[in-house]
Amino acid sequence: MSNVKAAVFASGTGSNFEAIMNSENLACEIVLLVCDKPGASVIEKAERFGVQTFVANPKAYASKSEYEAEVLKTVREFGVEWIFLAGYMRLVGVTLLEAYEGKILNIHPSLLPAFPGKDAIGQALQSGATVTGVTVHFIDEGMDTGPIIAQEKVTVMPGDTEESLKVRIQQVEHALYPRVINNIVRRASLYPVK
Ligand code: GRF
């Protein structure tokens, strides 16, 4: 198993978390799940995979930076080198961004820069787009901005509902995210920046 350690940050169902965990020969070891929604079903999934969890409600902290300082302390304790956002429904703030510059990836269910933010699938349907897709990108301080690493198209079919389109988008996500993670982590070990 790889000695590069990573954390997944998620708030919801965790189907991408599951896909990452199930992917064969992952170039890093997922040692931690960070979840900001106590009770989210991704937590049970982590427990099933034997992945440690850090679950905290940011509202229980005096400020975003205090919450992130606690998260930062935890990811450092676990020796985390990479952070993969997978349905983490909050903007990452300066505390984590500075500490993990160029080491935080996100997956988004549209072809960014189209349809950023919440409900990207609903936005695509409402716009009448015939093609949407999936983007994996490095994050910055913006909402679904930051350098794009990979994109894959998904055709919007006549009669598609949010549910039917989501199923096809998530199939693409579950294959794309582990593949991109492997490419990025392997490349970084071959050409270390520091
Ligand atoms: C995914 O569609 C991802 O692109 C978006 O949030 C969703 C998370 O789904 N950022 P899941 O929790 O991984 O099932």
Concatenate the DSSP letters of all residues of 38-88 into one string: TT-HHHHHHHHHT-EEEE--GGGSSSHHHHHHHHHHHHHHTT--EEEESS-
CB contact at 8 A, 26 and 2: yes
pLDDT at residue 178 is higher than 90: yes
Domains and CATH numbers, the chain: 5-190 (3.40.50.170)
Shortest-distance atom of ligand 1 to CA 170? 2
Q: How many residues does the chain have?
A: 194
- Whether pTM > 0.95 for this model: the answer is yes
Q: Whose CA is nearest to atom 9 of ligand 1?
A: 87
Lining ligand 1 with CB less than 6 A are 10, 12-17, 86-87, 107-109, 170, 173
CA distance 16 to 107: 9
Is 90 exceeded by the pLDDT of residue 190?
no
CA-proximal residue: ligand 1, atom 2 (nearest): 109
List the one residue out of 184, 176, 170 whose CA is nearest residue 14.
Answer: 170
Mean pLDDT over each residue of the chain, to the nearest integer: 97
The pLDDT of residue 179 is: 98
174 is catalytic: no
User: Please, are residues 34 and 71 in contact by the beta-carbon 8 Å criterion?
Assistant: yes
Of the residues 108, 137, 168, 174, only one is catalytic, namely 108
> Does residue 129 register a pLDDT over 70?
yes
Cα–Cα dist 170/158, whole Å: 18
pLDDT in tens, 38-54: 999 999 999 999 999 99
